[in-house]
Structure 1
Amino acid sequence: MTIRRFSAAVFAATLLTSGLAACNASGTGDPAVSGSATPAASGSAIAPSGNADAKQALLNSTNEIRNGNFRFTMSGAGSSAQGQVHEPSQSAEMRVLIGDASSDLSMKLDLIHAKPDSWVKLELGGKSAGSIPGVQKLNLGRYQHLDQTRIKGNKALGFDFDKIDPAGSEVLTQGITEVRQTGEGAYAGTLDVSKAAEAGSVDQSVITALGQQARSVPFTAKLDPQGRLSELVIRIPAAGQNAAQDIKVTYTDYGTATAAQKPPAGQVVEAPQEFYHLFD
């Protein structure tokens, strides 16, 4: 079995691929995300602002992300990730869970990037895990050091410190087609995801399946008191073989993230060939 296009840097895109859905036997969305995109009540004390002002506020809200010092979470389709990016030290780390005990195949990954090196600790589970070639070489309980010459230019295994936002929120906000303010720091509207494949948060196959629906996908967003993006929820409608789902991204601790800690040398082995084949 092959897991395609998996990486922390494009984790949100992975949430939306049919390949992941096939690995998730339950086929259900993340219960923590369900219903999270409900806009603020219409009786809010703050009158809705004009579309232009609201959109500019959201465009501005992603500026701080470029500084590369924040923590984040992403969830949807029965999967989740949490981590931090620390541009000052050229490092990042994240923990990813895809599927659960009821899934045909589940994956837990603990990833560490400290330029120019990357490590991953992998745990495979589920009834299909035993059929993966070389599985006994992958569930090691140790960090596997990745050969950068093998993953150079491959978004599926690396972390691009020139594009440090795992969700590509800046690109997504540029695709907003309609937005209104619904409360203090709260917004709702639609965005055109047909132009957002480069964001890493919407897979091209899903965009194709959505057709014209891709041009008007509902979303909600929240800003912190400093006007920085703190939450973005995209409600992807059902299309083709893909069930409707909410994708939720949060940002916290702007400016206070810390450098990723490299794994102790005694806990590191070189990644085997089977690992790279798993992500071909």
Structure 2
Amino acid sequence: MRFQRLAVVTVAIAALVGVGGCGSSATDSKPAATAQAADPLADFVAASKKLGSETMKMKMSMPGGIEASGVSDLAGKKVDMVMSVGAAGQTMEIAVRLIGDEMFMKYGTTAGAKWWRLDISKLPASSSLNPKNMADASAFAQAAVKVEKNGNTFSGTLDMTKSPTADPESLKALGDKATAVPFTAEMDDEGRLTKMVIDMSSMGAGAGKMTTTYSDFGTPVSVEAPPAAEVTEMPAEMLKSLGQTA
């Protein structure tokens, strides 16, 4: 499997668990009384942030045949999930475990296959997987610039140039398309985000909708590191593609 494709999958992991620094000036810069007023953008950011304080189950689907599901405890920095990539008959499986600053990734189910270990504390500050960006729960809330609300449903656009984890080269290639990416989202009666759909269809061939759902809040999350004998450090080429420092 090409390292570049694995890098894309790793970014998808970040999107699934919702990491990426969502602290938004849309609410932080307002006086308390104003922030509590009817404000769709503030409500959306608040619903996103609530995910950071509870355990939950997650599911995600992306263009290119990427499907994922698992459990997450963002406050405790614990994630256990399985991803499948590819069309029927050519599907590969990737298992991912996050424990503190260590991420373990295993490609395939072949007997003897090793787990790759990644120290995410060494990733650049702009990386969605950097633990400094895990304090809040949504990688997209800071990019939300136009939000409408109807009951418990949100709709609006994302300006990805406002995201602290946006890749400069990707933004340059997308141009104005990156400043108005449509999305819809839903929250439950407790004010927690339960679903988000980002429509990337306008970004190019093969792009489409990325759908993430969050459910079963309060579910127990217990993640164990793989046995040491089954772990090896992530290959240098993969580390380079993720921008890890020495």
CA contact (8 A) 1:71 1:257 kept: no
TM-score (norm 1): 0.62
The reply on whether 1:70 has 2:70 as its aligned counterpart is no
- Cα separation, 2, equivalents of 1:121 and 1:88: 24
The reply on whether 1:109 has 2:72 as its aligned counterpart is no
Superposition deviation, residue 170 in structure 1 = 3.3
Match of 1:220, SS? strand
- Cα separation, 1, equivalents of 2:111 and 2:148: 50
Superposition deviation, residue 82 in structure 1 = 1.6
**245 and 204 in structure 1: CA distance in 2 versus 1, 3 angstrom threshold:** farther
Match of 1:226, SS? coil
The match for 2:230 among 255, 266, 269 is 269
Q: Which amino acid aligns with 2:117?
A: L
- Cα separation, 2, equivalents of 1:91 and 1:152: 14
User: Pairwise CA RMSD of aligned residues?
Assistant: 3.6
- Cα separation, 1, equivalents of 2:118 and 2:181: 39
**227 and 209 in structure 1: CA distance in 2 versus 1, 3 angstrom threshold:** same
Superposition deviation, residue 70 in structure 1 = 2.4
Structure-2 residue corresponding to 1:195: 162
Superposition deviation, residue 208 in structure 1 = 2.7
Structure-2 residue corresponding to 1:2: 2
Equivalent residues in 2 for 1:217-232, closer than 5 Å: 217-232=181-196
Equivalent residues in 2 for 1:19-38, closer than 5 Å: none
Q: Deviations over 1:240-262 (max 9, x none)?
A: 5x433111111123333412134
**71 and 162 in structure 1: CA distance in 2 versus 1, 3 angstrom threshold:** farther
Q: Deviations over 1:63-100 (max 9, x none)?
A: 22222522222211110122222256542211111213
Structure-1 residue corresponding to 2:122: 153
Q: Which amino acid aligns with 1:229?
A: L
Which protein has the bigger helix share?
Answer: 2
Match of 2:122, SS? coil
Match of 2:140, SS? helix
The reply on whether 1:98 has 2:85 as its aligned counterpart is yes
In the alignment, structure 1 segments of 5+ residues that lack a partner are: 16-51, 125-138
Structure-1 residue corresponding to 2:44: 58
- Cα separation, 2, equivalents of 1:158 and 1:196: 10
Match of 1:178, SS? strand
CA contact (8 A) 1:87 1:161 kept: no
Structure-2 residue corresponding to 1:11: 12
Superposition deviation, residue 187 in structure 1 = 1.4
CA contact (8 A) 1:8 1:94 kept: no
CA contact (8 A) 2:123 2:129 kept: no
CA contact (8 A) 1:233 1:248 kept: yes
* Higher relative contact order, structure no. (Cα contacts within 8 Å, ≥ 6 residues apart): 1
Match of 1:207, SS? helix
In the alignment, structure 2 segments of 5+ residues that lack a partner are: 17-37, 241-246
**84 and 8 in structure 1: CA distance in 2 versus 1, 3 angstrom threshold:** farther
Structure-2 residue corresponding to 1:215: 179
CA contact (8 A) 2:77 2:100 kept: yes
Superposition deviation, residue 193 in structure 1 = 1.6
TM-score (norm 2): 0.69
Structure-2 residue corresponding to 1:129: none
The reply on whether 1:254 has 2:217 as its aligned counterpart is yes
- Cα separation, 2, equivalents of 1:171 and 1:159: 10
Q: Which amino acid aligns with 1:146?
A: R
- The structure with the larger Rg is 1
